[in-house]
């Protein structure tokens, strides 16, 4: 149940530094975008804005990335060192004959060479396409084929286990640059030892004269069915990366920032690499997988001030209890934000209880390229809301009609749409322009998310357009049911689907993962049914409930409701290449 004192704390703007975005600017909707440096000879390049200009100025010796290895080893790259290493990677691409606009794919964990490769490839004018290191051979092959990848950066272990077996089927892939121990790399045929070549290659210090609309980043996103979509973003996206990070994450020059997202996901690229570098910050990068005790220790020891993570990580921290957080000195932490899927109200309140800070939810997609809607430091949080649109982002709740779009009023549910034109907007789906155009009606981009907007301008997530459940004429958003069940003390995670029913059309079914110390029983399930009915009413509450060990999630933290539904109904599972695990 909600605690009034907690909600009162959440309603206060976050204390600490003066926010980069004031309430007045948010209300006006037109805070100015600060100008970027731009290339000396004209044009715009992400790597120049992120690294090169800093290395030539007072930030040269500031730590850009502090890498924490799996065994707690520490490596640092200053802006000056990152400039040197990225220039060497650009020089290597030039030696290999890679032309501007050709695709460089990345398949590696969070190791320094991956970050060097991103900046070096952008500096060279190539297009960067990151892949999840946890992908299997088939999704790797599919993306390299769609993107016609010419270069792949990977590790010796990943090459042996995943790439070697598919390489013959990838004729466009001319160069594989491998990171690993020299004796292991030497045993692999047809690859380049990346570390050895970077040590000897001539740095290419000039930056390719790219223009704002030149392609820069290729992110793959999975649809409900069909092959992955290659969302192409341009160098102008850096303008929005910078502005939205300052506004939505309240980043300031002296911050120590930790974005936990993997660079294989768009958040890990936009806000784990590009935005903090453009702002001249120090970022923490942890190579290891999630571990609650380790994460709390990193927050304390590294004196992290701003932390950007995912709802699935928050729920996992909630699952282990608050004591681990209280054992660490988290006094440096002043702002916490989350993205990946909507953040349940209970998680926002938990942040105040465990961390002393509310968690600020925000919303965006691979296609938007950056944060569109956010709970900023300057505004009161309404737990469960994704916040309000950032300046320059025009949002509408719409319904399709034969005449076009009907724009709905406050409180009405419809599809979340954004007026096109912001800098980081996807420019096309690679080789699928028709599929891309279907995302638009006139000047409006249709997100596929159902939402409502209240009288104060806050936007509330209802569900994906294909997730909404029609039960006896009632339209039920899964997120609403999940959030209610999450408030029960035994519940760690929830996924809700609609199950076909001959009478009601669909029944609401909930899949529930329990916190440690709680076991499945008839009594507990009846208690959960009663809890949901009391909170939601009988029309909305689940009619079926199944206790499971874990829920299928993507590496970005989204619970895959469609996969729950496919498994429940014995249907094809579709593209599961971004699936992380079932727990």
pLDDT tens, the chain, 583 aa long:
456 566 676 777 766 566 788 888 888 888 888 789 999 999 999 999 999 999 999 999 999 999 999 999 999 999 999 999 999 999 999 999 999 999 999 999 999 999 999 999 999 999 999 998 877 788 889 899 999 999 999 999 999 999 999 999 999 999 999 999 999 999 999 999 999 999 999 999 999 999 999 999 999 986 544 578 899 999 999 999 999 999 999 999 999 999 999 998 899 999 999 999 999 999 999 999 989 999 999 999 999 999 999 887 898 898 888 888 989 999 999 999 999 878 888 899 899 999 999 999 999 999 999 999 999 999 999 999 999 999 999 999 999 998 899 999 999 999 999 999 999 999 999 999 999 999 999 999 999 999 999 999 999 988 777 777 878 756 677 887 898 899 999 999 999 999 998 777 789 999 999 999 999 999 999 999 999 988 787 777 899 999 999 998 876 667 888 889 989 988 877 666 655 544 3
Q: Are 372 and 389 in contact (CB under 8 A)?
A: yes
| Region class of 355: left (phi > 0), else alpha (psi between -120 and 50), else beta | alpha
Among 438, 464, 490, give the residue marking a domain's end.
464
Among 210, 229, 248, give the residue marking a domain's end.
229
What is the C-alpha separation between 143 and 8, in angstroms, rounded?
47
Q: Are 64 and 77 in contact (CB under 8 A)?
A: yes
DSSP secondary-structure letter at 165?
A: T
Give the other-Cβ count within 10 Å of 322's Cβ. Answer: 13
Scored b (16 or more CB within 10 A) or e, 227-265 reads bbbbbbbbbbbbbbbbbbbbbbbbbbeebbbbbbbbbbb
CATH of the domain at 133: 3.40.50.980
Q: Are 397 and 416 in contact (CB under 8 A)?
A: yes
Torsion of CA 448, 441, 453, 18, to 10 degrees: 90
- Are 390 and 245 part of one and the same domain? yes
- Are 222 and 255 part of one and the same domain? no
- Are 422 and 273 part of one and the same domain? yes
**Is 144 inside any structural domain?**
yes
What's the total number of domains in the chain? 3
Q: Which two tokens stand for residue 436?
A: 């891309």
Q: Of the candidates 239, 47, 36, which has an alpha carbon nearest to the alpha carbon of residue 127?
A: 47
Name beta bridge partners: 75: 67
Q: Which two tokens stand for residue 460?
A: 């509330």
Among 447, 464, 481, give the residue marking a domain's end.
464
Secondary structure element (H or E) that encloses residue 309, with its range: strand 306-309
Structural domain of 530 = 469-581
- Are 445 and 413 part of one and the same domain? yes
Can you give the C-alpha Rg of the chain in angstroms? 23
What is the C-alpha separation between 185 and 573, in angstroms, rounded?
37
- Phi/psi for 112 (5° steps) reads -55, -40
Residue with tokens 């609609």: 498
């Amino acid at each position: 149940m909600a605690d009034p004192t907690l909600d009162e704390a959440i309603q206060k703007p976050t204390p600490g530094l003066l926010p980069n975005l004031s309430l007045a600017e948010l209300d006006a909707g037109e805070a100015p975008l600060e100008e970027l440096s731009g290339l000396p000879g004209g044009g715009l390049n992400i790597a120049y804005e992120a690294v090169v200009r800093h290395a030539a100025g007072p930030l040269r010796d500031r730590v850009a990335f502090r890498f924490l290895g799996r065994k707690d080893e520490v490596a640092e790259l200053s802006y000056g060192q990152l400039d040197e290493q990225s220039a060497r990677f650009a020089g290597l691409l030039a030696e290999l004959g890679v032309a501007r606009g050709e695709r460089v794919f990345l398949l590696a964990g969070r190791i320094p060479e991956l970050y060097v490769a991103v900046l070096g490839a952008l500096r060279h004018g190539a297009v960067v396409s990151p892949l999840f290191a946890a992908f299997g051979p088939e999704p790797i092959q599919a993306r390299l084929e769609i993107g016609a990848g010419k270069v792949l950066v990977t590790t010796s272990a990943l090459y042996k286990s995943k790439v070697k077996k598919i390489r013959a089927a990838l004729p466009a892939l001319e160069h594989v640059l491998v990171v690993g121990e020299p004796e292991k790399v030497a045993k692999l045929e047809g690859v380049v030892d990346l570390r050895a070549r970077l040590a000897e290659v001539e740095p290419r210090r000039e930056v390719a004269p790219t223009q704002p609309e030149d392609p820069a980043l290729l992110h793959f996103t999975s649809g409900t069915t069909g092959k992955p979509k290659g969302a192409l973003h341009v160098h102008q996206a850096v303008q929005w990366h910078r502005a939205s990070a300052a506004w939505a994450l309240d980043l300031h020059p002296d911050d120590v920032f930790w974005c936990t997202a993997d660079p294989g996901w768009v958040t890990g690229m936009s806000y784990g690499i590009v935005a903090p570098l453009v702002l001249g910050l120090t970022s923490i990068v942890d190579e290891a997988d999630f571990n609650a005790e380790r994460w709390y220790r990193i927050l304390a020891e590294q004196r992290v001030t701003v932390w950007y993570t995912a709802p699935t990580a928050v729920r996992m921290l909630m699952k282990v209890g608050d004591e681990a957080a209280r054992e660490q000195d988290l006094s440096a932490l002043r702002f916490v934000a989350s993205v990946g899927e909507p953040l349940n109200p209970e998680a926002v309140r938990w942040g105040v209880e465990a961390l002393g800070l509310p968690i600020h939810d925000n919303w965006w997609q691979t296609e938007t390229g950056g944060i569109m809607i956010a709970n900023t430091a300057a505004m009161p949080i309404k737990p469960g809301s994704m916040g309000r649109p950032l300046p320059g982002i025009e949002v509408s709740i719409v319904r399709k009609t034969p005449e076009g779009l009907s724009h709905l009023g406050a409180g009405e549910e419809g599809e979340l749409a954004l007026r096109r034109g912001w800098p980081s907007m996807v420019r096309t789906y690679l080789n699928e322009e028709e599929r891309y155009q279907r995302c638009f009606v006139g000047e409006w981009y249709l997100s596929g998310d159902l939402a409502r907007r209240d009288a104060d301008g806050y936007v509330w997530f209802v569900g994906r357009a294909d997730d909404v459940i029609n039960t006896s004429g009632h339209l039920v958003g899964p997120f609403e049911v999940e959030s209610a069940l999450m408030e029960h003390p035994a519940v760690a995670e929830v996924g809700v689907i609609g199950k076909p029913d001959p009478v009601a059309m669909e029944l609401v079914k909930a899949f529930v993962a329990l916190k440690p110390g709680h076991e499945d029983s008839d009594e507990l399930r009846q208690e959960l049914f009663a809890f949901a009915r009391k909170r939601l009413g009988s029309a909305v509450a689940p009619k079926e409930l199944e206790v499971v060990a874990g829920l299928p999630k993507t590496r970005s933290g989204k619970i895959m409701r469609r996969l729950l539904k496919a498994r429940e109904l014995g249907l094809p599972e579709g593209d599961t290449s971004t699936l992380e695990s079932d727990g």
